[in-house]
Structure 1
Amino acid sequence: MKLLLDFLPLLLFFATFKYADAQPEWAAGFATEHLGFLVSGGQVPAEVAPVLLATVVVMAATVAQVLFLKLTRRKVDLMLWISLVLVVVMGSATIYFHSEMFIKWKPSLLYWAFSLTFLVSHLVLGRNLLRKMLGGELQLPDDVWARLNWAWALFFGAMGFANLYVAYEFSSSAWANFKAFGSTGLIVLFTLAQGIYMSRHLPAPDEATDGAADAKEQGR
């Protein structure tokens, strides 16, 4: 359920863009009629209408996602709050200026926010986010946790630049494909690689049991 909720805004963005991109004249007319009052000049060009409509949908979906979590008394992660702020700010700029580049920058800013969070928590606060999230389930050496933290920081930094490269060098359709499948696939592959790396440094079952017992004893 949580996985579907996390990916729902992305899926709705992609579906809306593809539908509108297949009939840009209709999309331009629909966007001008229903969103013209929000757009500078009141007219939505056909070449940006698909992205604009998809942006409106992803903004509404992200707001609904946060409201659903709040109403069901579930935790709203910090990164979701950051995503909400970015999608509202960059989405509003996309709509008003009818320029697709604003919303295309949003994933990069989000990736860089992730990267900065990993770096600041480690270098400034002296905390390892991965260890905080997974340390209760996995026992790994300190240097391994540090490498994993650095790896995620560098990965998200690189993903931000990759998104901008696709946004500026390829069509909006290609960028939408990359956003929905390319970036998601890269994250899945990187996560799998991290899992393999962690598995090579996990203690043997008997060592893990002893380590857990020692930790419990020290906590008394």
Structure 2
Amino acid sequence: MSEGEGKKAASSWLNVAVDYGPLLVFLAAYRWNAPETPNAAGELAAIIAGTGAFMVAAILALLISKWRLGKVSPMLWFSTALIVGFGSLTIFFGDPTFVQLKPTIIYATFGIALLGGVFAGKALLRILLEAAFEGLTEEGWLKLSRNWGVFFLVLAGLNEVLRAQMSFEGWLWAKLWVFLPLTFLFTFSQIPMLMKHGLALEGKDEALKDEPPTGS
């Protein structure tokens, strides 16, 4: 592997860490502070502790992205702003609903934006992923933007269903064991379409690592 390829692979894995690291911190902080005997006051204290840790981790992830990658993606800026804003509301009002709504807003916003771009003939996903999908045709970009737009809207709906049906801890675990696997499976499912529209074989592995962030 050349030095350039090594740096690209490292940055790809750093992207994954920046996207999902704050969620793992959230889960760890919540579990660390969760009461042994379930009670409302202890549960709320654990949620507040986890939310605070989530906010700090999200800000650190943004700073690391800027430091190591030299840039911060629009989605990461948006996600971090919502984490801080809705996290602050959760802590202030003592209501976990705010932080649980954050993924729904992110997924819905980007889903609508991507599909709106497709209807206007613009592949907005190119802004995020052009370096990872070298050689992809315009038709391929439009199809990829369309597919991710639909997928984001599905995730928004799924988040609302799980938020309504599960406990807070169950919802947190679902973020790790439902949303994360679904995202990787969906990413893999796009490879045949991408290859039909110009994605080079040697770029396939990097494309899998550089899927759009999902706003943990």
Scaled by the length of structure 2, the TM-score of the pair is 0.75
Offset from partner CA, 1:127-155 (integer Å, 9 cap, x none): 2134453486133462x433322111111
Match status 1:110 vs 2:78? no
| CA distance 1:73–1:176, shift in 2 (3 Å) | closer
| CA distance 1:20–1:203, shift in 2 (3 Å) | closer
SS of the equivalent of 1:152 reads helix
Match of 2:26 in 1: 13
| CA distance 1:63–1:204, shift in 2 (3 Å) | closer
Match of 2:123 in 1: 128
Match of 1:181 in 2: 177
Match status 1:84 vs 2:84? no
2:36 aligned to 9, 15, 23, which one?
A: 23
Paired amino acid for 2:105: L
CA distance in 2, matches of 1:57, 1:203: 39
Q: How far apart are 1:163 and its partner, in Å?
A: 0.6
Match of 1:61 in 2: 57
- 5+ residue gaps, structure 2, are 1-13, 202-216
CA distance in 1, matches of 2:177, 2:83: 19
2:41 aligned to 33, 41, 45, which one?
A: 45
Match status 1:139 vs 2:109? no
- Structure with greater contact order relative to length (CA < 8 Å, sep ≥ 6): 2
Offset from partner CA, 1:74-102 (integer Å, 9 cap, x none): 10111111011111111011001111111
Larger Rg: 1
Identity within the alignment, %: 28
- 5+ residue gaps, structure 1, are 29-43, 206-220
Q: Is the 8 A contact 1:16 1:50 kept in 2?
A: yes
CA distance in 2, matches of 1:60, 1:203: 37
Q: How far apart are 1:202 and its partner, in Å?
A: 4.1
Q: How far apart are 1:200 and its partner, in Å?
A: 4.2
Q: How far apart are 1:21 and its partner, in Å?
A: 2.5
| CA distance 1:145–1:180, shift in 2 (3 Å) | same
Moved more, 145-154 or 91-100: 145-154
Q: Is the 8 A contact 1:24 1:47 kept in 2?
A: no
Match of 1:2 in 2: 15
Offset from partner CA, 1:34-76 (integer Å, 9 cap, x none): xxxxxxxxxx822322221111001011112223344557101
Match of 1:96 in 2: 92
Match of 2:4 in 1: none
Moved more, 111-120 or 57-66: 111-120
Q: How far apart are 1:109 and its partner, in Å?
A: 0.8
SS of the equivalent of 2:190 reads helix
Match of 2:115 in 1: 119
CA distance in 2, matches of 1:171, 1:204: 44
Alpha-carbon RMSD across the aligned residues, in angstroms, is 2.7
Match of 2:189 in 1: 193
| CA distance 1:76–1:204, shift in 2 (3 Å) | closer
